[in-house]
């Protein structure tokens, strides 16, 4: 073994430094450590290494939800390319939403939305061409069928013609009572669709339960600011709420150009346009303005001419002085043209004239020059409706609480501070995000305004920018708030904020003090009256990170109670699924408002509006004011009224103790031809009374809010295409966990990491312990599963991507994703300021992993933005059992699972048995767990005691006890490591001793496995 290692080391040196060189320089060694040649993945796990002959239900299957979509669920593009991308990433289950097409051929799109439509034939041809490009194992087509019988027949014929021999049409073995294996079904395509029961004939109807929402679709709602302007919103009706999004024309990709501004008005949105002249032209004032703000020759601004109505003046800087040109205009037909002299061709707009002379020289007899940088108008914000010179933070909150509009905002001078240390005025932007008011500083350095790391020439430019692009999450600035707007809406201004408990002595929170939402990873019982009591998986909201160890938050009826930070994990608001209060968040960042049906009146049909049909409903957010909603189709309007009426009736019956368990059901008809193509993966109903599928060939499909043979899909209200956390469903044994592939969020990154193993074939064999009847994913002990201890040092990184306009200040966060108890493990390094080139951390941690075969480690490099939210720069997720030990390089990827060029993270990994069959070592493991719990509790008591009235003597006693506990814990950990090294240390300190030692067969195999990793 030693000779083989020495030979491998010399071969490695020669491959790096060249033949004849027997050592490496420091730089060569460092470059090797960060390179892919030293990657942390075990090479054999990047090819198919698992047994593929087990029944299909023994595997997790890589799955996609609404595969055809490229964006949100409302109005994004449907694309054949999306299927190709998923299949070539290793996905083995894709979804087809089939609807009747206009020419007798089915189409695929997200029904009753504005998503684009693609041809069914194009999709299945793309599937046939790409299904087995990266994996030979079977592909499952999950069919959501909305077609008529005739077009279902077309679908069935197309499947047979396009897929040919790849289409699975008959059971492989008639007498089997188990599903075939992936190996037996290589290169097969399986249709997942409802099948007619024996004795049923073509077209016989059956009922099926609706999804999570009762009804979804588009309705018109009058703009509360612009009377008579009706906007289209997407509405979702649930059991107790009617939720709606921002206007659909505002839910758009930020990368799209906003070309809706008429050309003749485009100059009004440019910083170089200074508007009306206040007095006769003052050459001295123009010169002073350019002198103070110019950025070299060609700096310029434009204003209206004081002398000639309809004309403009162009003032620019050249060789230390200001020059001016008269921009003339004239009417030609119904449009106005702009020009400098009669000899030049006129321009269609003032904007196009200026743009021309920024690209071409402006020529005179004395000189020629190009216009360069536009000069903003000083203090031009003072005349804007969103700017407030003298209001306080509390007054701003009161105004925003009075205007119940998502995206409403104002900018104010921070009168409580006046000037900053450098003498520059400080400003703040206050805005309403859903039902919360948030604030952020705007600083003025010199003449530049800064919001976070973004730089602007003026407050006007800042506002215009964030009207087009998201300021917070996906919220853009929409409604400027002032007293005139409040009076126009007939609103009563609040004298105090709605949430006085969140006011603090500090007028402005630092980014880390923005409230967050967390999820409990363990039970906690209050020890004092001001602490929270909650169970594992509880959702705690409005959390303030008071210090490192103790936070405050809301849970149930308990407001701003204390709890230890070590037993919770941060989650996104979008992951909150609570009793109604979380429903709005399920619409994501495009959620705008809701109507509460619990105390609402039955909707009434209103008089018809020009071009559409309306009904009225009480507003939940504005003193029960009656609001009108409308549809362009009378039948659709009546359908909404009927569904809302039924929902209110059910709520009233429930309040009277007459709970109705009736479900919304609909009739579905099935073509006999299509039914004949369904062999395995037949949909089956899941109920709490009877459980899931009873036959081996059946499969249940469940929403993420309800959870072997199950397909899990995102909840219907995730119209922004966000994803749920797949790990709890994998832990519970769910076989097909479908995610929105187009969304590069944390949960999709986890999915990519899990299915990278086993050669990206799309199938991963479940651990044997999960297949036992008594398997409990919440257990702390699993039969025939030995826990492992992992010790990791985070050393450094290289070539991290830049974000925005600045350099990143990165930190590394590592989290364990596994069984429910293992998921509690999380570690975060300190932040390295403004160094994305070669940051160093040199921090380490140690975890005990209860169920190693289920565990994955997610390494995320992030930075905190101006709101205190962590933004992921790059990431990597690796199954624990696929990791090599020693000094290893982790290749970092972006949200879409593409490698970030040259970016890598260097870590040291040591994995060893947490305990063995030896009784004394079993005791060591148990003692370590007890001491870890005791250490954490003592640390929490000391942290709380430092900020409360706990006396000095008691604090000293607790500190001494903590010191003794940590020393015992450190000694036991060292003892366990030494015992692990004696059994199978991968890097022995004395190779000769190890070579002469007599090894057991199991130890030899473990050493061989490690050597093969090198």
Q: Which residue has the tokens 């009058």?
A: 222
Residue 65 falls in the annotated catalytic set: yes
Q: Whole-angstrom Cα distance, residue 197 to residue 211? A: 23
Partnered with residue 626 across adjacent β-strands are 618
Residue 973 to residues 376, 433, 913, 933: CA-CA distances in angstroms?
Answer: 64, 48, 12, 14
Cα–Cα nearest to 140, from 194, 84, 188, 69:
188
Q: Whole-angstrom Cα distance, residue 872 to residue 426? A: 29
Q: Whole-angstrom Cα distance, residue 502 to residue 376? A: 38
Q: Residue 75: helix, strand or coil by DSSP?
A: coil
Q: Whole-angstrom Cα distance, residue 276 to residue 302? A: 10
- Structure tokens, 722: 């966000």
Q: Whole-angstrom Cα distance, residue 709 to residue 686? A: 11
Q: Which residues contact 214 (CB under 8 A, 6 or more apart)?
A: 237, 238, 239, 643, 646, 647, 664
| DSSP code for 515 | -
Cα–Cα nearest to 241, from 579, 517, 719, 718:
579
Partnered with residue 63 across adjacent β-strands are 93, 738
| DSSP code for 203 | T
Q: Residue 165: helix, strand or coil by DSSP?
A: helix
- Structure tokens, 290: 């350019």
From the list 14, 45, 58, 110, the catalytic residue is 110
Contact present, 439 and 433 (Cβ < 8 Å): no
Q: Which residue has the tokens 């994501």?
A: 588
For the purposes of burial, counting CB atoms within 10 Å of the CB of 17, is it exposed (0-12), middle (13-18) or buried (19 or more)?
middle
Q: Whole-angstrom Cα distance, residue 622 to residue 630? A: 19
Cα–Cα nearest to 823, from 727, 910, 696, 718:
727
Cα–Cα nearest to 716, from 583, 519, 573, 594:
583
Helix (H) or strand (E) holding 923: helix 919-946
Q: At what angle do helices 952-984 and 919-946 cross, to 10 degrees?
A: 150
Residue 159 to residues 148, 150, 189, 476: CA-CA distances in angstroms?
Answer: 17, 15, 10, 45
> Euclidean distance between the first and final Cα of the chain, in Å?
12
From the list 45, 58, 65, 274, the catalytic residue is 65
Q: Whole-angstrom Cα distance, residue 467 to residue 485? A: 18
Q: Whole-angstrom Cα distance, residue 462 to residue 469? A: 10
DSSP conformation letters of 243-267: EEES-GGG---TTS----S-GGGGG
Contact present, 571 and 518 (Cβ < 8 Å): yes
Cα–Cα nearest to 89, from 898, 827, 987, 870:
898
Helix (H) or strand (E) holding 896: none
Q: Give the full edge-to-edge strand order of the sheet including 840-849.
A: 826-828, 811-817, 856-864, 870-879, 886-893, 899-913, 788-798, 840-849
Q: Whole-angstrom Cα distance, residue 290 to residue 370? A: 16
Contact present, 994 and 986 (Cβ < 8 Å): no
Alpha helices, H only, 182-326:
283-293
Rg, Å, the chain Cα set = 33
Q: Annotated catalytic sites, by residue?
A: 65, 110
């Amino acid at each position: 073994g030693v000779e083989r290692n020495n030979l491998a080391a010399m071969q490695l040196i020669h491959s790096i430094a060249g033949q004849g060189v027997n050592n490496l320089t420091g730089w060569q060694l460092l470059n090797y450590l960060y390179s892919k040649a030293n990657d942390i993945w075990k090479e054999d796990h990047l090819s198919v290494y698992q047994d593929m002959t087990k029944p299909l239900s023994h595997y997790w299957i890589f799955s996609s939800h609404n595969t055809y979509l490229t964006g949100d669920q409302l109005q994004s593009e449907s694309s054949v390319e999306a299927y190709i991308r998923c299949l070539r990433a290793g996905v083995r289950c894709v979804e087809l939403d089939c609807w009747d097409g206009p020419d007798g051929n089915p189409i695929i799109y997200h029904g009753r939305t504005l998503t684009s439509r693609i041809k069914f034939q194009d999709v299945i041809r793309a599937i046939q061409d790409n299904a087995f490009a990266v994996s030979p194992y079977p592909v499952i087509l999950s069919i959501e069928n909305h077609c008529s019988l005739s077009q279902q027949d077309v679908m069935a014929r197309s499947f047979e013609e396009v897929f040919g021999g790849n289409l699975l049409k008959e059971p492989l073995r008639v007498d089997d009572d188990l599903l075939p294996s992936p190996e037996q079904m290589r290169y097969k395509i399986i249709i997942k669709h409802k099948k007619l029961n024996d004795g049923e004939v073509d077209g016989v109807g059956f009922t099926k339960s609706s999804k999570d929402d009762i009804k979804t679709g588009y309705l018109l709602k009058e703009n509360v600011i612009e009377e008579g302007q009706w906007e289209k919103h997407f509405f979702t009706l649930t059991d107790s709420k009617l939720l709606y999004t921002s206007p659909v024309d505002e839910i758009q990709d930020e990368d799209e150009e906003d070309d809706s501004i008429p050309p003749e008005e485009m100059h009004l949105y440019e910083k170089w346009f200074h508007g009306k002249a206040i007095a006769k032209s003052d050459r001295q004032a123009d010169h002073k303005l350019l002198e103070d703000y110019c950025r070299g020759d060609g700096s310029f601004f434009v204003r209206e001419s004081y002398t000639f109505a309809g004309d403009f003046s162009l003032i620019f800087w050249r060789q230390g002085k200001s020059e001016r040109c008269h921009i003339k205009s004239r009417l030609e037909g119904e449009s106005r043209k702009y020009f400098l002299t009669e000899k030049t061709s006129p321009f269609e707009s003032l904007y196009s004239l200026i743009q021309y002379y920024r690209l071409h020289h402006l020529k005179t007899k004395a000189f020629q020059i190009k216009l360069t940088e536009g000069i903003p108008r000083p203090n031009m914000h003072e005349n804007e409706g969103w700017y407030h010179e003298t209001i306080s933070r509390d007054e701003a909150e009161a105004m925003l609480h009075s205007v119940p509009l998502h995206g409403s905002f104002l900018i104010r001078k921070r009168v409580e501070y006046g000037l900053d240390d450098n003498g520059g005025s400080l400003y703040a932007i206050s805005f309403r995000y859903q039902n919360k008011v948030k604030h952020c500083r705007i600083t003025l350095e010199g003449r530049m305004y800064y919001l976070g790391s973004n730089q602007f020439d003026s407050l006007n430019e800042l506002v215009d920018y964030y009207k087009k692009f998201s300021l917070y999450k996906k919220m853009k600035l929409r409604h400027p708030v002032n007293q005139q707007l409040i009076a126009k809406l007939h609103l009563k201004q609040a004298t105090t904020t709605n949430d006085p408990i969140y006011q603090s002595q500090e007028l402005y929170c630092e980014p880390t003090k923005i409230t967050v939402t967390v999820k409990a990873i363990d039970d906690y019982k209050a020890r004092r009256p001001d602490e929270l009591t909650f169970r594992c998986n509880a959702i705690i909201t409005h959390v303030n990170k008071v210090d490192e160890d103790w936070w405050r938050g809301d849970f149930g009826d308990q407001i701003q109670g204390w709890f230890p930070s070590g037993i919770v994990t941060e989650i996104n608001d979008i992951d909150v699924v609570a009793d109604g209060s979380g429903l709005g968040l399920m619409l994501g960042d495009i959620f705008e408002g809701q109507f509460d049906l619990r105390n609402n009146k039955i909707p009434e049909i209103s008089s018809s509006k020009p071009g559409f049909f309306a009904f009225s409903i009480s507003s939940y957010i504005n003193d029960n004011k009656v609001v009108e909603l409308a549809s362009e189709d009378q039948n659709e309007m009546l359908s909404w009224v009927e569904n809302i009426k039924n929902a209110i009736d059910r709520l009233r019956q429930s309040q009277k103790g007459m709970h109705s368990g009736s479900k919304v059901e609909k009739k579905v008809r099935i073509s006999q031809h299509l039914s004949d193509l369904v062999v395995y993966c037949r949909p089956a109903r899941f109920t709490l009374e009877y459980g899931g599928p009873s036959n081996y060939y059946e499969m249940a499909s469940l929403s993420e809010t309800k959870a072997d043979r199950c397909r899990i899909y995102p909840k219907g209200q995730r119209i922004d295409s966000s994803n749920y956390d797949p790990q709890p469903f994998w832990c519970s044994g769910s076989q097909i966990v479908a995610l929105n592939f187009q969304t590069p969020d944390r949960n999709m990154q986890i999915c990519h990491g899990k299915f990278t193993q086993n050669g990206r074939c799309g199938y991963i064999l479940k651990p044997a312990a999960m297949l036992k009847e008594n398997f409990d994913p919440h257990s702390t002990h699993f039969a025939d599963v030995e826990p492992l201890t992992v010790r990791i040092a985070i050393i450094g990184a290289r070539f991290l991507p830049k974000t925005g306009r600045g350099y990143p200040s990165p930190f590394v966060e590592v989290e364990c994703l596994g069984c429910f108890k293992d998921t509690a493990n999380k570690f975060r390094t300190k932040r390295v300021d403004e160094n994305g080139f070669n940051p160093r951390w040199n921090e380490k941690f140690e975890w005990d992993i209860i169920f190693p075969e289920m565990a994955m480690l997610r390494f995320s490099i992030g930075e905190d933005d101006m709101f205190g939210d962590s933004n992921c720069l790059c990431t990597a997720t690796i199954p624990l059992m696929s990791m090599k030990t020693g000094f290893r390089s982790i290749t970092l990827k972006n949200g879409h699972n593409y490698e970030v060029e040259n970016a890598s993270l260097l870590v040291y990994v040591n994995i060893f048995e947490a305990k063995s069959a030896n009784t004394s070592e079993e005791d060591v493991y148990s003692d370590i767990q007890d001491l870890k719990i005791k250490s954490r509790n003592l640390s929490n008591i000391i942290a709380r005691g430092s900020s409360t009235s706990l006396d000095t003597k008691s604090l000293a006693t607790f500190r001494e006890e903590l010191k003794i506990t940590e020393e015992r814990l450190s000694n036991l950990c060292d003892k366990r490591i030494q015992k692990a090294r004696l059994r199978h240390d991968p890097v022995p300190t004395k190779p000769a001793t190890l070579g002469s030692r007599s090894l057991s067969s199991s130890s030899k195999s473990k050493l061989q496995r490690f050597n093969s990793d090198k």
